[in-house]
Structure 1
Amino acid sequence: MAHESFAFSPSALRSLRLQRELLERDERRRALARGSAERRLPPGTPPSPPRRRQVCRDPAVHNALYAGDLRRVQSIFRDEATANVVLETVSEELVWSPEQGTGPGVLPFFSLLLSLPFPLQNRWGASTGVQLQVGSGEQGLWVLSPRRQHTSALRIAAARGYEDCARHLLLRGAAVDAVVGGRAPLHDSAAAPHPNCARLLLAFGADPNVLSADGSAPLHLCTAPHSLRYGCAELLLAHGAQVNLGTRDRQVTALHVAARQGLVAHVELYLHHGADPSVRTHQGETPLNAAAAAAERPEDSERFLRVAERLLEAGAEPGAAGRKGHTPLHNACANGHPAMARLLLRHGADATVPNGAGDTPMDCALRAVREYRQQRPEETLTLLLDHGALPAHPKMLRLCCQHPPALEVMLNVTGCPGFYASAVRMAGQPRRLQHLARVAIRRHLGARCCAAVPRLALPPPLRRYLQLPIEGLIS
């Protein structure tokens, strides 16, 4: 095999310092692993010399695998040693190097870059040219740095659905659970998804709960709707994947992932296999928190609502406070999602609880008025008021000024003296006794407004008046 390097994809700018830290961390992990293995040896046994990994940089070998050329793969990978070779690609990328700003060779390289007839691009694609920055005592330069990426032949075949190539490699002794370049082959086949390759790997003994370098199992990577339709998620569960297994560092489960992606069928599947709807991540997030926080786009609101319905039916806690003390209701209000707010309130969510910053769901709903004017935020405000939320501080009402229906709701329920005086100056006349009576009744009922007002022995027009109807006027 030749030892040339070949880049297969455009390289992204990475920090040189981050690369060094990652390499040092890998070295420490390998040293600890070697020390642990040596301690398990019987006394007097000489330690075996560390095995040197075979690395292939030959573009011809890489191309055969990426193209799924079975005949060439069969001619190249003939035994266990070649089937487990590490494939390395090296690409040059520009990184900002503060510590090399005044080192040897910088000025010649800087002169070379200045002579280029085209501008350089930063990691966001913006034209930056070549910069020698001096600020806060820091000097540096954009320099070319090699970036090495590792993978295995079996990973490439599994990621692209080349079942025949994967079978040949497995028959030649390819390690089915080898984590090379951060992932095992089963991670790639599940993420793609390619159920034919996943089924083959599992038949050869692949661990359905194998963890990647970042601590994710294959089930965590089933994030697209078709990963269920084509059977990868069901296949992994059928072969023993642990549905409540959390990622190594954050303890995110597959149910968290499916809820955050709005995958209704996945959520139903995981719940059917015993997924815990109350399980929390290290930050305290439940799957319901994840679904409510991710429902940001109006076009996705329906499927996230269905996810929340399934989770609540399975016993999810509607008031579970997650990251920064946000409850699902805080997130639903902040995302301008009145249907989800109604669902959560119907299941007992508290409309008055503050988050870690002291903001109530009402505060979140008011801040969302301007951005989600097309989502009828006045409905969310009315819902919160009907379930005991206190009227907002007068200073918060400025957030409603660009959406008259929301301002109407807040004006019709506010009875504090400071705001009342400002309303008098604006309208030029005092509020009616009927309005003051409504404020007093709603304040007395509090969280019982939603259930009690429809049962009051009052004429229908008065009951409707107490329910803050949207009529386009300050009543």
Structure 2
Amino acid sequence: MSRGSFVFTPTALRSLQLDEDMLERHKYRKQLSSHHFNGYMLKKEARDRALLRTSTALPPAVCHDLVIQNALYTGDLEAMQRLFPRGSTANFIIEPQGGDMRWVASGDGLWSLTYEQELTTPLHITADRGFTDCLRLLLQRGANVELAPGGTTALHEACESCHPECVKLLLSHGANANAVSEDGLMPLHVCTDPESLECAKYLLQYGAAINGRSLEEDDTPLHVAGRNGLADHTELYLRYGAAVDKQNDEGLTPLNAACSQPQELHELERYFKVCQLLLEAGANVGTLDQDKHSPLHMACKNVNADLVDLLLAKGACVNDMDYGGEAPMHNILKVVCYKISHKPERIVRALLNYGSIRVWPGALPMVLKHCCGSPRTIEVLLNAYSQLKVTDTWVEAVPPEVFKKHQEFYESLFSLAQTPRSLQHLARYRLRSFLEGRVHKVVPKLILPTFLKNYLLLEYRGYVH
């Protein structure tokens, strides 16, 4: 790139256009009367600073000075004050040395292995690293907040790295809160970490489109918050009028996105809280994605028992079939062996109490083979049948080490090969069959001792009889 030159990417130009989501932003902002005056003053200040900056800014040049680069990357404010005295400009582009290697085609058709260079600016470097004082100095020296030589603005970098003070500085100096990166993302779309909450607040105060769509996935910020389990972000966006049931290119609503995201044990509560907020805001519990997966399908697949209970209580259909002909029960049984610590037995029990279809008896040995590591899951599942045809195939399905670990349970199961189910169990089975999916509603209301109610609701006993 020659000195004094600068290339705008198509996506950077696209950020200057008014679209449908900008109109929606104005509509929702009318409902937020308490934010009107502050929002107006903040944007007015930003516009005034932007006009002052553009009147004095020089076209960006390319800087190869390693002394300047070193001061920027280390956040050396004293060095930068010397390098950028009053009257100088910080409006230039940097081409860092090094980076990842990639094959590049030369003009004569040959390919060579060279370092991948990604252009950046002093604002990007300091915003990404949270060097607030250095960033302020650069802005005072006329650095252009809209430069995006690497495909993203400095505002994107500050949001992605969770530096709210840098975000506030950039916005107050005229940064576009709805700038679109080369990947089609607005700054709110890169607020994917719990620590980015303050960044999101500043963006919304400066007019970020609450329902702005990403160009590739068609995600809104609420989709991003749901997918990343960000309860505080979800609550914030809902307060600003985020559309709770918008679907992206895959047919996912924010609720579907939250339910479909793989969840580790320590993340279950976060995602439950997000879904709880969305449902309280009126999210549709039955929306299907393009593969006809419901939120319940995905919550079962990710083995979030509290979330499954919540979805069922909100009216989720327990026997919805996806394009593959699988119900939520299929989804949970396929992942039991991988998620034993998530207590999959709770989900199987809840689904059965809400009237879920059962496994075809001929497939029970296969289910036993894959789920034997969770005897409670097997117990709940088998207690939905009046009789079981236990054969040698069942015995062979349980590895010796698993049998030894849960010997008492599997001995009780295999003994059913020679004895029928107990009269007590048959009475339970008959009552549950009569209620036909109303078990969860009727049984808690019965005037019965608690231990009998729990027995009817398939409480675990550690054996089958």
Length-normalised TM-score, structure 1: 0.73
- Does residue 1:145 correspond to 2:114, yes or no? yes
Two-structure CA RMSD over aligned residues (Å): 3.4
- Does residue 1:69 correspond to 2:76, yes or no? yes
Q: Which residue of 2 aligns with 1:233?
A: 200
Q: Which residue of 2 aligns with 1:448?
A: 438
Gaps of at least 5 residues in structure 2 are 15-57, 395-412
How big is the shift at 1:95?
A: 4.9
- Does residue 1:301 correspond to 2:268, yes or no? yes
Q: Mean alpha-carbon deviation: is it higher for 305-314 or for 421-430?
A: 421-430
How big is the shift at 1:311?
A: 1.1
Q: 1:68 to 1:177 in 2, by over 3 A?
A: same
Q: Which residue of 2 aligns with 1:353?
A: 320
Q: 1:455 to 1:203 in 2, by over 3 A?
A: closer
1:365-406 deviation line (CA, Å, top 9, x unaligned): 112221222332221111001111011123153233232211
Q: Mean alpha-carbon deviation: is it higher for 424-433 or for 198-207?
A: 424-433
How big is the shift at 1:360?
A: 1.0
How big is the shift at 1:65?
A: 1.5
SS at match of 2:178: coil
1:238-279 deviation line (CA, Å, top 9, x unaligned): 111111112112121222222222222111111111112212
Contact 1:245 1:253 (8 Å CA) reproduced:
yes
Q: Which residue of 2 aligns with 1:412?
A: 383
How big is the shift at 1:220?
A: 1.8
**One-letter amino acid of the structure 2 residue matched with residue 58 of structure 1:** D
**One-letter amino acid of the structure 2 residue matched with residue 205 of structure 1:** G
Q: Which residue of 1 aligns with 2:92?
A: 85
Q: Which residue of 2 aligns with 1:265?
A: 232
**One-letter amino acid of the structure 2 residue matched with residue 218 of structure 1:** P
Contact 2:389 2:417 (8 Å CA) reproduced:
no
How big is the shift at 1:424?
A: 8.9
Contact 2:300 2:331 (8 Å CA) reproduced:
yes
SS at match of 2:337: coil
Summarize the alignment of residues 352-431 of structure 1 with structure 2, pairs less than 5 Å apart.
Answer: 352-394=319-361, 395=363, 397-398=367-368, 399-415=370-386, 426-431=416-421
Q: Which residue of 2 aligns with 1:281?
A: 248
Identity, in percent, stands at: 39
Length-normalised TM-score, structure 2: 0.74
- Does residue 1:197 correspond to 2:166, yes or no? yes
How big is the shift at 1:55?
A: 2.6
**One-letter amino acid of the structure 2 residue matched with residue 406 of structure 1:** T
Gaps of at least 5 residues in structure 1 are 4-25, 34-50, 107-142
Q: Mean alpha-carbon deviation: is it higher for 419-428 or for 386-395?
A: 419-428
Whole-angstrom distance in 1 between the partners of 2:226 and 2:357: 31
Q: Which residue of 1 aligns with 2:183?
A: 214
- Pick the aligned partner of 1:330 from 297, 302, 315: 297
SS at match of 1:370: helix
Contact 1:66 1:157 (8 Å CA) reproduced:
yes
Whole-angstrom distance in 2 between the partners of 1:218 and 1:278: 21
**One-letter amino acid of the structure 1 residue matched with residue 456 of structure 2:** L
Contact 2:387 2:420 (8 Å CA) reproduced:
no
Contact 1:259 1:288 (8 Å CA) reproduced:
yes
Contact 1:387 1:450 (8 Å CA) reproduced:
yes
Contact 1:397 1:410 (8 Å CA) reproduced:
no
Q: 1:359 to 1:419 in 2, by over 3 A?
A: farther
Whole-angstrom distance in 1 between the partners of 2:190 and 2:99: 29
- Does residue 1:173 correspond to 2:180, yes or no? no
Whole-angstrom distance in 1 between the partners of 2:354 and 2:311: 11
Whole-angstrom distance in 2 between the partners of 1:173 and 1:462: 76
How big is the shift at 1:295?
A: 5.2
Q: Mean alpha-carbon deviation: is it higher for 438-447 or for 151-160?
A: 438-447
Contact 2:101 2:116 (8 Å CA) reproduced:
no
SS at match of 2:201: helix
Q: Which residue of 1 aligns with 2:281?
A: 314
Q: Which residue of 1 aligns with 2:458?
A: 468
Contact 1:252 1:281 (8 Å CA) reproduced:
yes
State the structure with bigger RCO (CA 8 A, min sep 6), 1 or 2. 2
**One-letter amino acid of the structure 1 residue matched with residue 172 of structure 2:** A
Whole-angstrom distance in 2 between the partners of 1:458 and 1:198: 60
Contact 1:93 1:144 (8 Å CA) reproduced:
no
Q: Mean alpha-carbon deviation: is it higher for 63-72 or for 327-336?
A: 63-72
Contact 2:387 2:421 (8 Å CA) reproduced:
no
Consecutive aligned runs of 4 or more in structure 1 exceeding 6 Å deviation: 78-81, 416-425, 457-461
**One-letter amino acid of the structure 1 residue matched with residue 96 of structure 2:** T
Contact 2:9 2:151 (8 Å CA) reproduced:
no
Contact 1:424 1:430 (8 Å CA) reproduced:
no
Contact 1:255 1:277 (8 Å CA) reproduced:
yes
Q: Which residue of 1 aligns with 2:52?
A: none
Whole-angstrom distance in 2 between the partners of 1:384 and 1:64: 60
Contact 1:76 1:82 (8 Å CA) reproduced:
no
Whole-angstrom distance in 1 between the partners of 2:82 and 2:97: 25
Q: Which residue of 1 aligns with 2:25?
A: none
How big is the shift at 1:82?
A: 5.5
Q: Mean alpha-carbon deviation: is it higher for 55-64 or for 438-447?
A: 438-447
**One-letter amino acid of the structure 2 residue matched with residue 87 of structure 1:** I
